[in-house]
Amino acid sequence: MLELADTGGRRRKQARPRELLDAALAVFVDKGFAGSRAEEIAARAGVSKGTLYLYFDSKEDLLRTLIAEGFSTRIDGRSHQMAMSAEASSELLRQALTMWQASLVEGRAGGIFKLVLTEVRHFPGLADCWNREVMGPVRAQVSHILLRGIDRGELRPVDVDLAAHALILPIMMTCLYRHTIGSLIPDDFLMHTPDLLGRHIELVLDGLYLHSDPRREDDAPSTGT
C-alpha cells in the first residue's frame, strides 16, 4: 500500500506543472495578466501559493512557458518534419502557414495570442519573449523553405526576408483583426471570406514560381499550337 501511495504521489507531482499552466491560462484569459494574482492561479490548481513557486518563479515565468509550449515547440517539431519531406516547397509553405494561422486563432495557443496582444504594451518583456520564442522561429522556418525552393529550382531567386514577411505579416494582421474589431462585427467580410489564407498564399506564390506550378499545367489555357 505504501508503494502504491508513493507511486500516486510521484504521478501527481509530475502532473503539477501541467495543472499550474492550465490554471494560469484560465486565470490570465479571464482577468488579464495584470489583474491576475499568484494566489488565484494556485487556488485554481488546488495548491498553495508556495507550491506554485516550487515550479515557477513568477507570473511572467508561467506566461513565458505558456508561449513556448503553445508555439515554439510546435514550430520546432514541424520544422523537423519538413526537413525530412520530399514534397514541393510550395506545398511545405502552405502547410507551415496554415498551421501557423490556425494556432493563432484556435485553442489554447489562440488564447495565449490574445493575451499577448492585450498585455504587451503594459509588459514590454512580453514583446521580447514573443519575438524570441515565436516570431523568430516562424521567420526561420518560412525562410528555410523559401531557400529550399530556390536551391531546388522551384522558386525564383528573391529577397528571402522580404518574401517571408510578405507571407507571415498579413496572417498576423488578419488574426489581430479577427481577435479585435472582427469579433465585434458578425457579418464582417474578413471574418467570413472562404479560404482567405489559402488565397493569400497563392497570390504570393504566383510571384515566386520560377516555372509553372505543375499542379496547374492541366488548367493552363491552350496556345493554339
Residues 3 and 80 in one domain: no
Percentages of the chain per state (helix, strand, coil), in multiples of 5: 75, 0, 25
The domain boundary residue, chosen from 13, 41, 56: 56
Which residue, among 143, 163, 161, has the nearest Cα to 151 in the 3D structure? 143
* Measured CA distances, 214 to 17, 148, 218 (Å): 48, 17, 8
6-56, pLDDT tens digit by residue?
Answer: 444 554 556 788 899 999 988 988 888 888 999 999 999 999 999 999 999
Residues 48 and 63 in one domain: no
Residues 162 and 130 in one domain: yes
**pLDDT range class, residue 95, cuts 50, 70, 90:** confident
Which residue, among 97, 119, 122, has the nearest Cα to 175 in the 3D structure? 97
pTM above 0.75, yes or no: no
224 inside domain: no
222 inside domain: no
The domain tally of the chain equals: 2
34 inside domain: yes
